[in-house]
Amino acid sequence: MSVGEQLNRIWDEKLSEFERTIRPQHRKEFQCCIDCADKPNLSSSEYHECLSKCRQPMMMIERSMQQEVAALMDGLSRCAQQCESIARSKITPDMTAPPPAVEQELKKCVSQCEVEHEKLLPALFARMNTFANSFK
């Protein structure tokens, strides 16, 4: 299994675990929306406000998750770009293709980026769990 595949597998496992932990919050949101629908005396605007209040915690959790993922992906991308920059600096204008040693070095560098970012996943999901638990 490649380092990238390993990172994806761990990501999928952690994401599934996180989603299972927030299912009670989803249930709470759905029940809240049902409670809004069970109030026949609400005006249209009151009804939509009620639904918005119900959805707010999950929207905040999802926004937090998107920000965490974006930060992780941004860091991984910056690391890979740095690897590419290092590899480009070893290619001279007279070369028609990068030498195999440079390609290998680039692959090794990018793999190391993936390994380092894999180590960040437990802390990322811990932050997301802490944030999600603040709505219980």
Name residue 71's amino acid: A
pLDDT digits (tens, 9 = 90+) for 48-68: 999 999 999 999 999 999 999
Residue-level pLDDT at 105: 93
If 0-12 CB within 10 Å is exposed, 13-18 middle and 19+ buried, where does residue 132 land?
Answer: buried
Residue-level pLDDT at 1: 63
Name residue 127's amino acid: R
Helix (H, G, I), strand (E, B) or coil at 37: helix
Residue-level pLDDT at 91: 84
**pLDDT > 80? residue 95:** no
Task: Tell whether pTM > 0.85.
Answer: no
**Helices and strands (H and E) in the chain: how many:** 4, 0
The answer to whether the beta carbons of residues 75 and 117 sit under 8 Å apart is yes
pLDDT digits (tens, 9 = 90+) for 2-47: 777 888 899 999 999 999 999 999 999 999 999 999 999 999 999 9
What whole-number distance in Å separates Cα of residue 43 and Cα of residue 86? 63
Task: Provide the terminal-to-terminal Cα distance of the chain, rounded to the nearest Å.
Answer: 38
What whole-number distance in Å separates Cα of residue 116 and Cα of residue 76? 9
